[in-house]
Amino acid sequence: MVRTVVVGLGRSGIGAARLLKAKGHEVTVLERSIEPNIQILAADLRLQGIDVELGKPLELASFSPWLDQIDAVVISPGIAWNHPTLTELRQRGINILGEMAVAWRNLSDLPWIAITGTNGKTTVTHLLNHVLESNGLKAPMGGNVGHAAAEIALSRQQSNAERPDWLVMELSSYQIEAAPEIAPRIGIWTNLTADHLERHGTIDAYRKIKRGLLERSKIRIFNGDDPDLSSQRSSWGHGLWVSSKGPGNPDNPADLWIDTEGLVREQQGALFNASALAMPGQHNLQNLLLVTAAARKAGLTSHSIEASLRSFPGVPHRLELLGQVKKMSVFNDSKATNYDAASVGLQAVPTPAVVLAGGQTKQGDASGWLQQLHQRACAVVLFGAGASELKELIQTSDFTGDLHCCINLNDAVALAIPLGLEHQAACLLLSPACASFDQYQDFEARGDHFRSLVEPLLTPNFTGNGK
């Protein structure tokens, strides 16, 4: 009997397994962990008729009972596309798919809005989902945030399921790489800086993956303020370019921009004031423009877009204002998983700041982040696996503020608050500049842990955008 093997019991793996089972496939899930929480997930899938094998690492021996029966292997985004075991399976004629590819095969009849980029894509995804749905459109959000795409596909199998008007999908380079057939109605590219180089090797390889998604998009929307994207503009035959810095020049005009009076404009005239979006930072003006461009292509009026922007509550874990502790504003920016994102976040908050950073370090240019620490941070508290490495990096930059290392986030928060009082800091900022996988399942778990630590300390009756 033909069998599909799903590797990994994460959100995407579970979604893929359930969708494939609903489509009549014999499904086996392989998972290397045997932790209690994993055993609970496995038990639930077994009740749904899905075979689950725990304690199975990604090596050929784990597949041996079914090697002559496997039609495809579905992998999670965290597994490298060129993993040696996957290479061996391909040599045996076995098809390798990402979960997003499985979802696309069941959702390709719907119009996709796909958002990619190094930074900003989560904010754009949440904001666009909010704008569309607050105007009466059914536009589920998934991919790298929200629901697993396969779960969205599975929900359509219900007899009373309402057909979505749009799918709003955040796609990482990992997901795009493992699903090269995805061809969105609208593609949005937020920016490109060096990230995930430990996986992709070079920025050129990283760029090529993301570029492929936009090349397959019917409508292309670009952030013209991004240096890398703007340097590639001549290579694009068509596309919409947005800029928070004005209309551009005759050679490279913006299609949507913010003028000197703070008005969002397109070629036909002014739309609304950019202050409609109450989120700090120049980068969020760029996000506003990308969302507005997509919403216009989805058929919304400027008035309806403006009203939706004004009601947007903010994005969890992305400059999320939790409240105040002893007159310090507390921001959860756990989504800042690289130096560039952390630098952008630090530029957007009140200063002086006490910065909490650390986790699993990444390759990348830290110079911009270090410069912002010099200018805006009075103290830095490091935690997690990368604390010592980051400490050495910051010390070599001649940082003059307080610098401390802790084992974990609990200790970091306990130390950061008295440091903030000592320096009369304006804010306490969790902006890790690192991945979370040293101590957490994902950046959401890290941000949730931070929230649980500071919430008992918050000034009563203060309401931030995360409350």
Domains of the chain in start order, with CATH, are 3-101 (3.40.50.720), 108-310 (3.40.1190.10), 320-457 (3.90.190.20)
Are 118 and 193 within 8 A, CB to CB?
A: yes
Q: Can you state the angle between helices 367-376 and 387-396, rounded to 10 degrees? A: 70
Q: Could you give the 3-state DSSP secondary structure of residue 418? A: helix
- pLDDT at residue 463 is higher than 60: no
Alpha carbons within 13 A on the beta-carbon side of 198: 9
| pLDDT (mean) for 169-189 | 96
Q: Give the distance, in angstroms, between the CA of residue 213 and the centroid of all CA atoms in the same chain.
A: 16
Kindly report the three-state secondary structure assignment for every residue of 58-94. CCHHHHHHHCCCEEEEEECCCCCCCCHHHHHHHHCCC
On the 0-12 / 13-18 / 19+ scale of CB atoms within 10 A, 8 is: buried
| pLDDT (mean) for 193-216 | 86
The label of the residue with tokens 């002014």 reads 270
The predicted pLDDT at position 146 comes to 81
Handedness of CA 337, 129, 290, 207 (dihedral sign): positive
The predicted pLDDT at position 313 comes to 84
Q: Give the distance, in angstroms, between the CA of residue 310 and the centroid of all CA atoms in the same chain.
A: 23
The predicted pLDDT at position 281 comes to 80
| DSSP annotation string for 193-219 | -S--HHHHSSHHHHHHHHHHHHHT-SE
The label of the residue with tokens 């930074």 reads 119
The predicted pLDDT at position 242 comes to 97
Question: Phi first, then psi: what are they for 29, rounded to 5°?
Answer: -110, 130
Closest CA to 135 of 268, 327, 302, 333: 302
| pLDDT (mean) for 268-287 | 91
pLDDT class of 466 with cuts at 50, 70, 90 = very low
The predicted pLDDT at position 1 comes to 63
| pLDDT (mean) for 90-116 | 96
| DSSP annotation string for 3-68 | EEEEE--SHHHHHHHHHHHHTT-EEEEEES---HHHHHHHHHHHHTT-EEEES--SSHHHHGGGTT
| pLDDT (mean) for 150-160 | 89
Closest CA to 168 of 64, 84, 290: 290
Are 341 and 315 within 8 A, CB to CB?
A: no
Other CB atoms within 10 A of residue 452 CB = 12
Q: Give the type of residue at 104.
A: W
Are 294 and 438 within 8 A, CB to CB?
A: no
The predicted pLDDT at position 462 comes to 56
- pLDDT at residue 467 is higher than 50: no
Largest CA distance in the chain: 68
pTM, full prediction: 0.84
Are 75 and 32 within 8 A, CB to CB?
A: no
- Specify the DSSP class assigned to residue 275: G
The predicted pLDDT at position 377 comes to 97
The predicted pLDDT at position 279 comes to 85
| pLDDT digit string, tens, across residues 385-406 | 999 999 999 999 989 999 999 9
111-150 CB burial, b ≥16 within 10 A, e <16 = bbbbbbbbbbbbbbbbbbbbbbbbbebebbbbbbbbbbbb
Are 286 and 258 within 8 A, CB to CB?
A: no
| pLDDT digit string, tens, across residues 130-149 | 999 999 999 999 998 888 99
Q: Give the type of residue at 166.
A: W
The predicted pLDDT at position 144 comes to 85
- Cα-trace Rg, the chain: 23
Q: Can you state the angle between helices 409-423 and 443-454, rounded to 10 degrees? A: 50
Question: Phi first, then psi: what are they for 398, rounded to 5°?
Answer: 65, 35
Share of the chain above pLDDT 90, in %: 82
Structure token digits, residue 420: 């903030």
Q: How far is CA 199 from CA 50, 339, 364, 389, in A?
A: 31, 17, 12, 20
